[in-house]
Amino acid sequence: MIARYLAPLAGTGALGLGDDAASFSPPEDCDLVLTKDALVAGIHFFADDPPEAIAQKALRVNLSDLAAKGATPLVYLLGLGLPDGWTEDYLARFTRGLAADQADYGLTLLGGDTVRAPERLTLSVTAIGSVPHGCMVRRGGARVGDLVLVTGTIGDAALGLRLRLDPELAGRLRLLEADREHLLARYLLPQPRMVLAAAARQHASAGMDISDGLAGDFAKMAAVSGVAIEIEAARVPLSPAARAACLADPDLLAVALTGGDDYELALAAAPSSAAALVAAGEAVGVPVTIIGRVTAGQGLTVTGPDGMPLDLGPGSFSHF
Amino acid sequence: MIARYLAPLAGTGALGLGDDAASFSPPEDCDLVLTKDALVAGIHFFADDPPEAIAQKALRVNLSDLAAKGATPLVYLLGLGLPDGWTEDYLARFTRGLAADQADYGLTLLGGDTVRAPERLTLSVTAIGSVPHGCMVRRGGARVGDLVLVTGTIGDAALGLRLRLDPELAGRLRLLEADREHLLARYLLPQPRMVLAAAARQHASAGMDISDGLAGDFAKMAAVSGVAIEIEAARVPLSPAARAACLADPDLLAVALTGGDDYELALAAAPSSAAALVAAGEAVGVPVTIIGRVTAGQGLTVTGPDGMPLDLGPGSFSHF
């Protein structure tokens, strides 16, 4: 099984997955950046999602962490817990998803382990990237006077999850079919912003990826940096689909701002560097949008069009 | 929860586990050796094993891989899937086990992820060690004329598992209480042979750890190396407890030779190097025993006292 489905994904050093461990020669003058995200069926994805997409989501949530740290992906290890009743066809589709993403994102499988996880497909990916020595972008680097920015659009995945859980919601919101499909796709399959990793490394003073919701994750950046962050809700970039949903039901704005699974980059940068980040986004076709600023103090404030703080409820969605 | 129980385990580069990823500066002129073993409650350990021991087993089965590759442990990442109903007391005991092993084996926590795994405690450890560039001991290096060796004693853990599953077995075998406890302890908690990693790197032509049973794992070494391996059953080192069990029920010898969970090192070495390995074992108080030799051909043969091949049944125990 390993030889047939997983070994073809293995790169140099993985020894065809036929050894106890892999050998890996790190690039010179670099720091390695390591991240490990676990995903469990029924918690982080739906058990009946397409296996290609499940595999790609497991890889991409880790790649998104690397992008936020300014890192270039190199290799990954896969912990694969297969539920009772798995089939070869399922595994073939799962590994096809991995193969496609390996080609797209330029990394190879270095090792891993396959075990029985009777009730639920259980995945654990350790992804390894590199940055020039000392150059990893940190959460805690936001400084008073910085602007804060996000890539892409916010809230699509959280709204997509709502649509997935409530098949009649799209009808009640009178969403176009294309809008519904856009939001569902954004939940199913994150788009890690690797194309902006180098720009984040060059220009950002702080960075993280938005996995637990824009509000909660910027609150974390503020706390670790020892600063306050003010975000203007009206500046937060929404897709046409998310905008349509929030117009139909204004309560959904809080879902978009706190819901999570965006896998966009949350960045802070000095004003001139923020302009460079916006330009870098234009160059690669991924919008980078200034949404607020860093001030002295602590905590996160999200203000509405009237300049008054919005009440976003519990704030950050936690997977756990 | 992370701040209270896991952050105290974190070393340099882990950023207190408060970032998306860890930064790691690899030692110069070294290759990294990476291994990832997953463990699931009810499959790889008993759900009611002491949490300290479960944590240590998860770490040690990975350390055993590093030892077999001749590597020095550096850091590890932990994927922690907590079942519904977990308690802070359980987690405190689990992390105390990790802390003790980190001190004993000289490595620190670099990162990881904590998720919900409703039915079963599900663990995934990625361990990273280092060897001088190009010096990782491989499975495939056994050469015709080499001798084959094992560390420690074989079969204790497999017999311990039998005792665990059948509370009346110890009585039927008339084992001493001390023997019963020895075998149970050997199943519960592997002793990775880090003290012999450097000797393996210097003297072994091939190495792996014995996790799936002596017979099955030496069969893998033979296959990957493209050689035949002949083992004399009478030379395989058994503890007094295992010897007592096999004397009481001769069928248990096959269990000892194929049962798995030994976490001893399986090595091949040229005769003069084999002598150096035996001496290295004497120096650190872990027996290293020559049990057979490498010949031209393919496959593994285990011969009995009469020189005839033993029938060990299906051979290698597979966890999966």
The whole-angstrom separation of Cα B11 and Cα A31 is: 15
Average of per-residue pLDDT across A161-170: 97
Residues B119-150: b if buried by 16+ CB within 10 A, e if exposed? bbbbbbbbbbbbbeeebbbbbbbbeeebbbbb
- Rounded to the nearest angstrom, the minimum Cα separation between A115 and chain B is 6
Helices then strands, counting H and E runs in chain A, come out as 10, 11
Q: Do B24 and A31 touch (CB under 8 A)?
A: yes
Instruction: Give the pLDDT score at B314.
Output: 62
Yes or no: say if B58 and B37 are a contact pair by the CB < 8 Å rule: yes
- Rounded to the nearest angstrom, the minimum Cα separation between B269 and chain A is 18
Does B209 reach chain A within 8 Å, measured CB to CB?
yes
Angle at B255 between CA B252 and CA B259, to 5 degrees: 160
- Rounded to the nearest angstrom, the minimum Cα separation between B229 and chain A is 18
The whole-angstrom separation of Cα A127 and Cα B36 is: 12
Instruction: Give the pLDDT score at A313.
Output: 74
Q: Which of A15, A26, A138 sits opposite B26 (nearest CB)?
A: A26
Which residue, A134, A131, A113, A150, is CA-closest to A231? A150
Instruction: Give the pLDDT score at B26.
Output: 92
Q: Which of B15, B24, B122 sits opposite A81 (nearest CB)?
A: B122
Q: Do B38 and A124 touch (CB under 8 A)?
A: yes
Structure confidence at residue A314 as a pLDDT band (50, 70, 90): low
Residue A154's region, left for phi above 0, alpha for psi from -120 to 50, else beta, is beta
Instruction: Mark which residues 114-143 of A lie under 8 Å from B by CB.
Output: 114-120, 122, 124, 126, 131, 133, 136, 138-140
Q: Which range has the worst mean pLDDT, A82-91, A198-207, B244-253, B300-309?
A: B300-309
Q: Do A116 and B23 touch (CB under 8 A)?
A: no
Rg (CA), chain B: 20
Does A32 reach chain B within 8 Å, measured CB to CB?
yes
The whole-angstrom separation of Cα A145 and Cα A140 is: 15
Distance of CA B304 to the CA centre of its chain: 26
Instruction: Give the pLDDT score at B155.
Output: 98
Does B239 reach chain A within 8 Å, measured CB to CB?
no
Structure confidence at residue B80 as a pLDDT band (50, 70, 90): very high
Does pLDDT of B12 surpass 60? yes
Q: Do A319 and B36 touch (CB under 8 A)?
A: no
DSSP character at residue A45? B
Does pLDDT of B16 surpass 90? no
Choosing among B5, B19, B57, B262, which should be mutated to test the A contact, i.e. which has the most A CBs within 10 A?
B19
Domains of chain B: 2-132 (3.30.1330.10), 139-303 (3.90.650.10)
Q: Which range has the worst mean pLDDT, A62-71, A84-93, A249-258, B9-18?
A: B9-18
Q: Do B32 and A23 touch (CB under 8 A)?
A: yes
- Rounded to the nearest angstrom, the minimum Cα separation between A173 and chain B is 32
Does B36 reach chain A within 8 Å, measured CB to CB?
yes
The whole-angstrom separation of Cα A158 and Cα A255 is: 7
The whole-angstrom separation of Cα B148 and Cα B229 is: 8
Chain A residues touching B137 at Cβ < 8 A: none
Angle at A203 between CA A198 and CA A209, to 5 degrees: 65
pLDDT over 70, % of chain B: 98
Q: Which of B18, B114, B139 sits opposite A19 (nearest CB)?
A: B139
Instruction: Give the pLDDT score at A12.
Output: 81
User: Quick one: which H or E segment has residue A181?
Assistant: helix A177-188
Q: pLDDT tens digit string along B262-316?
A: 999 999 999 999 999 999 999 999 999 999 999 999 999 999 988 899 988 764 4
Chain B residues touching A80 at Cβ < 8 A: 38
Instruction: Give the pLDDT score at A241.
Output: 98
Average of per-residue pLDDT across B15-21: 86
The whole-angstrom separation of Cα A8 and Cα A102 is: 11
Yes or no: say if A193 and A289 are a contact pair by the CB < 8 Å rule: no
Chain B residues touching A209 at Cβ < 8 A: 20
Q: Which of B20, B37, B79 sits opposite A209 (nearest CB)?
A: B20
Q: pLDDT tens digit string along A126-152?
A: 999 999 999 999 999 999 999 999 999
Structure confidence at residue A251 as a pLDDT band (50, 70, 90): very high
Q: pLDDT tens digit string along B85-136?
A: 999 999 999 999 999 999 999 999 999 999 999 999 999 999 999 999 999 9
Is the Cα dihedral B73, B79, B83, B85 positive or negative? positive
Q: In chain B, what is the greatest distance between 2 CA atoms, to the nearest angstrom?
A: 62
Q: pLDDT tens digit string along A294-308?
A: 999 999 999 998 889
Choosing among B6, B15, B20, which should be mutated to test the A contact, i.e. which has the most A CBs within 10 A?
B20
Does B65 reach chain A within 8 Å, measured CB to CB?
yes
